[in-house]
Amino acid sequence: MPSLTHYLTVLSAVAVGSVVADVNPNAQGACDDTHGGQDACGPNGSEAWLNTGLNGEGWNPPFLDINGLKHISLEDYYNGVGRSCRQYDQYFKSSGEKYNIDPAILAFLAMQESSCNADAGGPTPGLMQCEPRNCQNGKSSCQYPIQDNVDCGAHVLRAALDNAGGNAVRAIGSYNGWFIKGFGLNGGKGITVDYPCSAEGRRNGAPQNLDYLHETLN
């Protein structure tokens, strides 16, 4: 699991020094000064809102259009906490153009998934931590070349966005293994706060990060 330092770094993705993103008018509980804790919030909504249902009958993701997300520019990100991602800029932009995804979103995901480390290992290796079965290069692995790994991540996110009608909250959550009701997991419910560490959750791989949406979107 990523360290606390990693989480705090990602939490700063949309607030670098005096550079902050505009508040999303479609997001409940949004704030222009990203922070964590009990009342965690950022420009794309409060964590409680993004995690709707997690403490109840299962995650019921609110809708935020992928094309309406608020975030700082890539250049501002690279000049701040995302400096380790700058070396991969060409890959984010190439995959973004190929899959019609804002390259900044791909950079934010890469930071969340691997701390922007293309050599990161594990069962889902590489910069985007993309499952080998989703490789688009016809091979059994796509950690390298790096472009193949970013293409893999962008493909997975694009498929999730298309399946979710462009809902960034649902699609980005699914990238980390979040699910809604009807997926045949958790007794037919969406993911809940106790699921990742349950027996079933452990059988289904690495536990989901329940701060993932806030850390990635805010």
Task: Work out the mean pLDDT of the chain and round it to a whole number.
Answer: 91
CB 129 within 8 A of CB 212: no
pLDDT band at 19 (very low <50, low <70, confident <90, very high): low
- pLDDT(189) > 90: yes
pLDDT band at 205 (very low <50, low <70, confident <90, very high): confident
More confident site: 57 or 3: 57
Q: H or E stretch including 46?
A: strand 45-46
User: What separation in angstroms does the CA of 15 have from each of 81, 106, 114, 136?
Assistant: 9, 17, 20, 34
CB 85 within 8 A of CB 77: yes
User: Which amino acid is residue 38, in one-letter code?
Assistant: Q
Q: What is the mean pLDDT of residues 14-30?
A: 75
Q: Which pLDDT score is estimated for 21? A: 79
Q: Which pLDDT score is estimated for 171? A: 99
pLDDT in tens, 45-72: 999 999 999 999 999 999 999 999 999 9
Q: Which pLDDT score is estimated for 20? A: 72
More confident site: 2 or 95: 95
* Among the listed residues 101, 85, 81, the one whose alpha carbon sits nearest the alpha carbon of residue 93: 101
Query: Can you spell out the DSSP letters for 6-44?
Result: HHHHHHTTTEETTEEPPPPTTSTT--SS-B-STT-EETT
Give me the CATH code for the 4-217 domain, please: 1.10.530
Q: Which two tokens stand for residue 86?
A: 């700058």
- pLDDT(11) > 90: no
Count of helices and strands (H, E) across the chain: 9, 4
pLDDT band at 32 (very low <50, low <70, confident <90, very high): confident
- pLDDT(6) > 80: no
CA distance 144 to 161: 25
- pLDDT(3) > 90: no
User: Which amino acid is residue 116, in one-letter code?
Assistant: C
Q: In percent, how much of the chain has pLDDT > 70?
A: 91
pLDDT in tens, 139-149: 999 999 999 99
pLDDT in tens, 153-186: 999 999 999 999 999 999 999 999 999 999 999 9
Which of 14-23, 153-162, 201-210 is the least confident region?
A: 14-23
Strands 15-16 and 19-20: antiparallel
- pLDDT(1) > 50: no
Q: Which pLDDT score is estimated for 8? A: 37
